[in-house]
Amino acid sequence: MAITGHLIEFSLAEIFQFLEQGHKTGLLTVFEQPEPTTPKNQVHYIWFNQGRIVAAANRSDHHGLISIISHRGWLGDHAASRFAQQCGTKVPLGLYLKSQGILNAEQIKLLFYTQVMRRVCALFTLLDGWFHFDSKVILPMDEMTGLSAPATEVTLAGLRVLKDWSALESKLPDPLSTIVSVVEGKPHLHLNSTEWQIWEYTNGNETLLSIAKQLQKPIRQIQQIVFRLSVVGLIEDVPMVLSPVPDSTSKKAAAMGSDAIAPSSDNSIPPNAADNQASAPNQMSHSFLNNLMGFLKNKS
């Protein structure tokens, strides 16, 4: 299976969600340019195994992990390359070096953090570009430490440190929407304190504006947290259902409540445009996957 598309259509977070939920294995290539022509800018390679990220590099010669090991002074280039040849096609280089007593468990963890977590998290700042996923690529043992991480955990880490949300602006939920859980029990992912606070409101009874007011947080921060919890498949944002107002009091209620429910013009937020539909805010687990499946059929 091969998939090609633009980051304007599907964000990196959405792509990661699809690959994890589909337990995909293969290579995701991300190009920092708007059109799929001969690459002139930076190219990034991310390898998946059953929906988990196992390696990442910004070079295609399979010497990315070797260069990190050499840069840290743990092995020279020639020695690392020789060990990479010896590890073969079935054992990750990191595990092979550990079995030889050259690296320990903590060094391998540091390698994985440097190679995958730090590098992939930086990609969430991309405003434009295109991607290609190829499921027929053989996983490169010489680029793998032996460790892996669920794509959703990498997504959470990347979005937590994201400073520029310009590329995701249109995908933020409506401030007047509410949130509901789409998982049974508590989340399986490690959430921080603020994310847990948001999780407590997944009963569909409070709008994001109301949540922001109660937690004394900026509405934009609440929208960003809801987006990242939505894109990793924990919650959905849905329109707030208001109880009908009796005819005899409708005008009075509208006059009294209009200021309370309507955001001011100075702080208005663009409506969600993730699916180019004005009828509903972003619902990642269903609308995104439906659109992506249709997109894949057209590309197949």
Residues 70-128 have pLDDT tens digits of 989 898 888 888 888 888 778 999 999 999 999 999 999 999 999 999 889 888 878 77
pLDDT-based confidence at residue 30 (cuts at 50, 70, 90): very high
Q: Taking residues 272-291, report their average pLDDT.
A: 42
Same domain, 210 and 260: yes
Q: Is the pLDDT of residue 259 over 50?
A: no
Confidence (pLDDT) at 258: 41
pLDDT-based confidence at residue 269 (cuts at 50, 70, 90): very low
Same domain, 123 and 182: no
- Written as one string, the DSSP assignment of 248-264 is HHHHHHHHHHHHHHSPP
Confidence (pLDDT) at 57: 94
Choose one of 108, 129, 160: the last residue of a domain: 160
Same domain, 33 and 148: yes
Same domain, 6 and 151: yes
Whose CA is closest to 174, among 226, 104, 130, 119? 226
Domain extent at residue 216: 166-299
Choose one of 95, 129, 160: the last residue of a domain: 160
Same domain, 212 and 130: no
Confidence (pLDDT) at 10: 86
Whose CA is closest to 282, among 196, 200, 173? 173
Confidence (pLDDT) at 283: 40
Same domain, 143 and 26: yes
Q: Taking residues 213-240, report their average pLDDT.
A: 93
Q: Is the pLDDT of residue 55 over 80?
A: yes
Same domain, 53 and 152: yes
Confidence (pLDDT) at 35: 61
Tens-place pLDDT, residues 165-205:
888 888 899 999 999 999 988 888 889 999 999 999 999 99
- Looking at every residue in the chain, the average pLDDT score rounds to 81
**What whole-number distance in Å separates Cα of residue 50 and Cα of residue 193?**
30
Confidence (pLDDT) at 290: 52
Confidence (pLDDT) at 39: 53
Confidence (pLDDT) at 163: 87
Same domain, 151 and 183: no
Sequence-separated (6 or more) residues with CB below 8 Å from residue 62: 84, 140, 142, 143
pTM: 0.73
Is the four-CA dihedral 77, 82, 83, 85 of positive or negative sign?
positive
Same domain, 42 and 182: no
Choose one of 160, 183, 215: the last residue of a domain: 160
Q: Is the pLDDT of residue 251 over 50?
A: no
Same domain, 8 and 155: yes
Same domain, 139 and 176: no
**What whole-number distance in Å separates Cα of residue 20 and Cα of residue 232?**
9
Confidence (pLDDT) at 69: 92
Q: Give me 150's structure tokens.
A: 């669920």
Confidence (pLDDT) at 245: 45
Q: Is the pLDDT of residue 3 over 80?
A: yes
Q: How many distinct structural domains can be found in the chain?
A: 2
Same domain, 39 and 150: yes
